[in-house]
Amino acid sequence: MPEIQLVITGDDSITLFVPSLNEHYHSVHGAIQEAEHVYIRAGLEFCGKESVNLLEVGFGTGLNAFLTLIKADELKKQINYTSIELYPIDKEIIPQLNYPKLVGKGFETEFQKLHEANWGEYVKISDYFYLKKLQIDLLFWQPDEIFDVIYFDAFAPNVQPDLWSESVFTKIYQSMSSEGSLTTYCSKGIVKQAMRAAGFQIERLAGPPGKWQMLRAKKSILTH
């Protein structure tokens, strides 16, 4: 695990900074704001299913998982949440993450449980939220489920170009249900190209504060 620093973002929520990559885990304009905008509103809430199989690329601080758990409870929607993470954060960092204090009053125990859950199997975190964390390189991950919603939250393509490649998006495309969608904070041309080559139809949406655009990608519906 490389050296990590804690940083306060524009909405007072904490993010992590990796000096060796010069990369933050979230937007410095607001970690919670970004996660709510890109993944909860544009991703989860876009999916009309009663029960959702969700895949996240990059568990990181568990912020996306935590906001999804809270939303699942609010909507009384069953969520099976698989998250891929090659480099889990150190345990000492977890109590310093202020997400339960800012948005999760009453869910403090569940935030702990997200981090303490065993890897490699589904664990019940709350009545509506089951979590399966996989410690594996996305490049070697082989899907064994069908997903309705994808949160694609890898580090930026200039830092980890291999993760934003056509072959990765093809693997994800093939693991999605016909009405499935993928959202990501990144709207770079090279990402759109790789997604289109994998078969996705892409929509550009307004980005979170501090960011002009983001992407939502859906499976193409062939009409012949």
Ligand X SMILES: C[S@@+](CC[C@H](N)C(=O)[O-])C[C@H]1O[C@@H](n2cnc3c(N)ncnc32)[C@H](O)[C@@H]1O
Instruction: Return residues touching ligand X (CB under 6 A).
Output: 25, 58, 60-61, 63-64, 84-87, 137-139, 153-155, 160, 163
What element of type H or E holds 57?
A: strand 51-57
Minimal distance, residue 149 CB to ligand X, in Å = 14
Q: What are phi and psi of 180, to 5 degrees?
A: -70, 155
Minimal distance, residue 26 CB to ligand X, in Å = 6
Closer residue to ligand X, CB minimum distance, 77 or 133: 133
Closer residue to ligand X, CB minimum distance, 138 or 215: 138
Minimal distance, residue 96 CB to ligand X, in Å = 13
Closer residue to ligand X, CB minimum distance, 84 or 117: 84
Minimal distance, residue 137 CB to ligand X, in Å = 4
Closest CA to 59 of 138, 166, 173: 138
Closest CA to 59 of 126, 124, 139, 153: 153
Minimal distance, residue 148 CB to ligand X, in Å = 18
Closer residue to ligand X, CB minimum distance, 171 or 179: 171
148-187 CB burial, b ≥16 within 10 A, e <16? bbbbbbbbbbeebeebbbeebbbbbbebbeeebbbbbbbb
Listed in sequence order, the residues at least 6 apart from 175 whose beta carbon sits closer than 8 Å to its beta carbon are: 55, 143, 145, 146, 147
Closer residue to ligand X, CB minimum distance, 130 or 185: 185
CA 194 – CA 164 distance, rounded (Å): 7
Strands 78-84 and 123-126: unpaired
Closer residue to ligand X, CB minimum distance, 123 or 179: 123
Minimal distance, residue 205 CB to ligand X, in Å = 18
